[in-house]
Amino acid sequence: MSHNKGKLYVISGPSGTGKGTICAELLKDAGNEFSVSMTTRGPREGEVHGKDYYFVSREEFLENVDKGNFLEHATVFDNFYGTPKDMVMKRLDRGRNVILDIDVQGGLQVKAAMPEAILIFLLPPSLTELRQRLEGRKTEAPEIIEKRLSKALEEIKFIGEYDYYIVNDDLEKAVLEVKSIVTAEAARVPEKVRPIIRKYEQEQEKGE
């Protein structure tokens, strides 16, 4: 029944806005599960295959595209990234919420395929602050940082397609806001309310 199904959350926003940290906070709740994406990007120090990403060759990735295994996929900074469809669907069916940390191209594809998905956009307080955060991470070369900053502005232009936006100027506050959205969405009256009405009808029938 639809009200027993989990909800699909898309979290997008320029890299360096704290998506990873916010997702990690959400995942402390056992009802939320992370969708591990497949990518052709090489692992960064400390990243674990099967936990952060499935790191695959371009060949393997394209095979999965051909087989229709992705809910969405996109090219981000010259690498391929995709969300394995099966895992997402199985978890939703089991009543778990699924969290996708994906870019805007992917977010829009998910919205087209599953309009009931909830799209949250995370914004940096300013582009200057975003630059400082990216430089502070020391994981990317300067030219990559420039690429990420120009992509940031391109992504922000799509904010109107999202359901919610959060400015991450204070991590604790941003986490609280995302959790509030998840709490509110859990209490949303579903599109298909029939099963809820039926439950009360059955109760009354039994009582008669």
**Angle CA(48)–CA(53)–CA(59) in degrees, nearest 5?**
115
Nearest CB to ligand 5GP, comparing residues 82 and 124: 82
- Closest approach of Cβ 104 to ligand 5GP, in Å? 8
Using CB under 6 A as the binding criterion, the count of chain residues that bind ligand 5GP stands at 14
Site residues (CB under 6 A) for ligand 5GP, limited to 94-153: 101-103, 105-106
Strand 97-101, strand 79-84: pairing: unpaired
Q: What is the CA radius of gyration of the chain?
A: 19
Site residues (CB under 6 A) for ligand 5GP, limited to 56-85: 72, 74, 76, 81-83
**Angle CA(84)–CA(49)–CA(60) in degrees, nearest 5?**
50
Nearest CB to ligand 5GP, comparing residues 102 and 182: 102
- Closest approach of Cβ 161 to ligand 5GP, in Å? 14
Closest alpha carbon to 178 in 71, 52, 18: 18
Residue 20: phi and psi, rounded to 5, are -60, -45
Instruction: State yes or no: residue 15 binds ligand 5GP (CB under 6 A).
Output: yes
**Interface residue list for ligand 5GP (CB under 6 A):** 15, 37, 41, 72, 74, 76, 81-83, 101-103, 105-106
